[in-house]
Every structure is written in structure tokens, then in C-alpha cells.
Amino acid sequence: MPGLWVFDDKIIGGKFLVLRRDGSKPKWPYIVLGAADPAAPAGLLAYADRCEELGYDPEYVEDVRHGLTGAFESYRAMNDSQDPTSPPDREDDPEIIEKMMG
């Protein structure tokens, strides 16, 4: 299942459950970018560019553009890349699936 798509608290597909620090799930669609994904740095750079256009804090923009993107690239240089569209490589935990379904 490529990507994670959640609409109206219903999971349509994906590999990840995103929770806030208080344990609640966001109500909006989201995607998880991982450093093993070779496309992630380009996504982060595009995000940083748009943040800059919108007037976000310049330090935040630079942290994404150089810090986070650099960390992703360093990780990939030291580890194998992964295909984010590959099938799950672990057994699903029924409790997590239940949380994903709402």
C-alpha cells in the first residue's frame, strides 16, 4: 500500500500510525517521510522553499533545509535505501491496527 491516507479517522492504507504527544491522532491527512526513502530529501527541500515563501521563521526553514535534509542524506549514505511502496516487512500488531482504524 503506497502512502498513508487517513480521512475521517479511517485508515485507507499505509505503514505508520502518527500520534501527537498527548496520544491523539491528527484529523487531517498526513504522510510520514523516512530517511531511507531516496525521495525524502527533495520533499523536504520543497517544503522548506514553501515555508520560506509563506514567511515561516527563517531559523526553522534553515533547520529543515540544511539540518533535517542533511541528516536524511547522511542516514542514506550509511544505510540501505528502501522503497516506500514495498509491502510491509513486519507482522501487523492488532492493537496498532485497531488504533489506526479509530
pLDDT tens digits, 7-56: 555 555 567 888 899 988 888 878 889 898 899 999 999 999 999 999 99
Q: What is the pLDDT of residue 43?
A: 96
SS (H, E, C) the chain: CCCCEEECCEEEECCCCCCCCCCCCCCCCCCCCCCCCCCHHHHHHHHHHHHHHCCCCHHHHHHHHHHHHHHHHHHHHHCCCCCCCCCCCCCCCHHHHHHHHC
Q: What is the pLDDT of residue 96?
A: 80
pLDDT tens for residues 59-72?
Answer: 999 999 999 999 99
Facing residues of 10 across strands?
7
d(CA 79, CA 70): 14
pTM, 2 dp: 0.73
Q: What is the pLDDT of residue 3?
A: 42
Mean pLDDT over 85-101 rounds to 76
Q: What is the pLDDT of residue 1?
A: 34
Percent of the chain with pLDDT over 70: 79
